[in-house]
Amino acid sequence: MKRSLRLAKMNFQVGILVAIALVIVLVVLLFPNRGLNPLASRFVLYGRFDDVAGLKRDAPVYFSGVEVGEVDSVDFLPPGSDHRLQV
C-alpha cells in the first residue's frame, strides 16, 4: 500500500475518533445538566400564590431536595382572583 493511502486512511480514522469524542462530550455536558434529558417525560405544573418573595424565571425547582425542574414564568393574575401570582 502506498504511503499516501495509509496516511489518508489514518487521517480518516482520527477524524472519526474526534467526532465521536465531541459527541460524547456534548452528551455529558448537556443532558444531565438541569434536566435536559430528551427521553424524559415532561409536564407543566402551575402554582398560584400571594407572595413568591423574589422568585425569578429559570430558578431551580426542588422536590425532596432533588432538582426536578425550573420556573418558566412568574405572572400576575387579573384583579379579583383568589391569588395575585401564577408560577
In order along its 87 residues, the chain shows pLDDT tens digits of 677 778 888 999 999 999 999 998 887 777 666 555 666 677 888 888 888 888 888 888 888 888 888 888 888 888 888 888 888
Q: What is the pLDDT of residue 33?
A: 60
Model pTM score: 0.50
Place of cell 414564568: 73
Q: What is the pLDDT of residue 49?
A: 86
* Separation CA 86–CA 67 (nearest Å): 20
Q: What is the pLDDT of residue 34?
A: 57
**Percent of the chain as helix, strand, coil, to the nearest 5:** 35, 15, 45
Q: Domain boundaries in the chain? A: 1-38, 43-87
Q: What is the pLDDT of residue 75?
A: 87
Q: What is the pLDDT of residue 1?
A: 60
Helix (H, G, I), strand (E, B) or coil at 69: strand
- Please, are residues 31 and 37 in contact by the beta-carbon 8 Å criterion? yes
Residue ranges with strand state E in the chain: 48-49, 60-63, 66-70, 75-76, 85-86
